[in-house]
Amino acid sequence: MITFMINLFRIINVCLIIRLIFYKKKDPILLLAWSLFLLFIPVIGFIIYLLVERRPKPFKKIQELDEFERSLITTYHEEFDATITSNQYPLIKQYESLVRFNRNYNKCILTSYNELDLYVDAKEKYDQLFEDIKQAKHSIHVIYFIIRNDHSGLKFLELLTQKASEGVSVRLIYDSGGCLTTPKRIFNELKEAGGQVYNFHAPFLKLLWLNFNYRNHRKIVVIDGAIGYLGGMNIGDEYCSLNPKRKPWRDAHLRITGQSVALLQLRFLRDYLTTNKDKMEHRLVLEQLTHYFGPVQTNHFCSVQIVSDGPDTDTDDIKASFIKMIFSAKASIFIQTPYFIPDRNFLDALKTAAYSGIKVTVMIPTIADNHFVYRTTTSYVKELTEANITVYLYKGFLHSKIIVVDDQICTIGSTNIDNRSFKINYEINAFIYDDSFTTEVCKRIRNDMKNCKLVDDKYHNSKTIVVRGEESLYR
């Protein structure tokens, strides 16, 4: 019986291999690895294939949202053409190829009128976010990967519950994987007050969680269609440096007012209407669609593109934009990331820039939140320094996801430099073309450098045999 089952799995796996060869665009090395894995470890290989290689269904098309987005695209593309041809905005002209790439490859609108606030300290971000929530008049839309059952998380939910009880439409999506240890009872009061709470990619059965690998890593808040938040911070005390094992905690988050808020709202509504299966709620949202898009309340010129990505698409949109950004650099590239586990395309792009005379700097943390991931990250440090890339180790936990090019343009969002963010998670980033805002970002980064250690030969030579062995094994 056991032999029969193993042979049956082998037959199924051969079909999967044929599917990979003819219907999936796979890297030849990855294809070979999967083929050997499926043939020689058939049962385990089949299970891991289902968890890792099975792609979630694409987000369904919603006619009303598609039509609304098309109207926005028409409006903003007219502005785009005017902005590109104008001599008033030399920065857009200088990085025109990156702007056009995001427009053509990622179908991303360029918005011109935005005001941005940068938060690197969670307490400051929470204070402003909580104040904005208190002032909400008609809608609060939220996606978070993690909401902790602690002071920060409970305060956040208390405010949402209060607004829901006042008649404000509160819709919250939390990720089932990120909130795996968060007791679901903490959302009960919000639900009882009229808030809509949904669990992204919840398991169909407790033992059947085929979408477990595909996490919604986005952090989005949209208030009254007029104020938006995105970045790296979730909701929890640890982000305020209150976890003694991970302090100081450094992060990066944006508060946005202006045209780009509409794009965050569209992203939220697509995620929400895919997660929520209630047809009456769908009808209610779509009937009031224009109600969720507030008027633009700024004349401040700051160009932004919002790029989102996920495993429901065949393209790695954010990674492709990162690589295009690297090749757009004229003088310098600076990266802050908690995890540096790039694929070969990204790593080669970064090394090519460095060998071409571009000053490339990478900052990673000295404190690990996951030993396996951290050892994999440090395994790349020597390869980076050998390519004339400067590496700094932040003396604390660095959770920022920032790339700055030429001290003039930058991207901030939820995306880490690793294959999970590039291929598996649902992510979102803002690409910002504004030298005054980017100057503020650079100022914060230089301040972080005061709390860093520069990687040198002493660092490489001090690694023990155990550390070197772990790095080789994990990578």
Q: Which residues are catalytic?
A: 217, 219, 224, 399, 401, 406
CA distance 108 to 113: 15
Pairing outcome for strands 332-336 and 359-365: parallel
Q: E strands, 267-376, where?
A: 301-309, 332-336, 340-341, 359-365
Cβ proximity of 247 and 398 under 8 Å? no
CA distance 465 to 375: 13
Cβ proximity of 132 and 102 under 8 Å? no
Residue for token digits 């911070």?
233
Q: Which of 301, 319, 125, 148 is nearest to 221 (CA)?
A: 125
Cβ proximity of 195 and 173 under 8 Å? no
Task: Count CB atoms within 10 A of the CB of residue 22.
Answer: 7
Residues with Cβ < 8 Å from 88, sequence gap 6 or more? none
Residue for token digits 């310098």?
332
What is the H or E stretch that residue 447 is in? helix 435-449
Residue 206, both tokens: 């407790």
State phi, psi for 172 to the nearest 5 degrees: -130, 130
CA distance 238 to 157: 17
Q: E strands, 262-384, where?
A: 301-309, 332-336, 340-341, 359-365
Pairing outcome for strands 301-309 and 427-433: antiparallel
Cβ proximity of 257 and 298 under 8 Å? yes
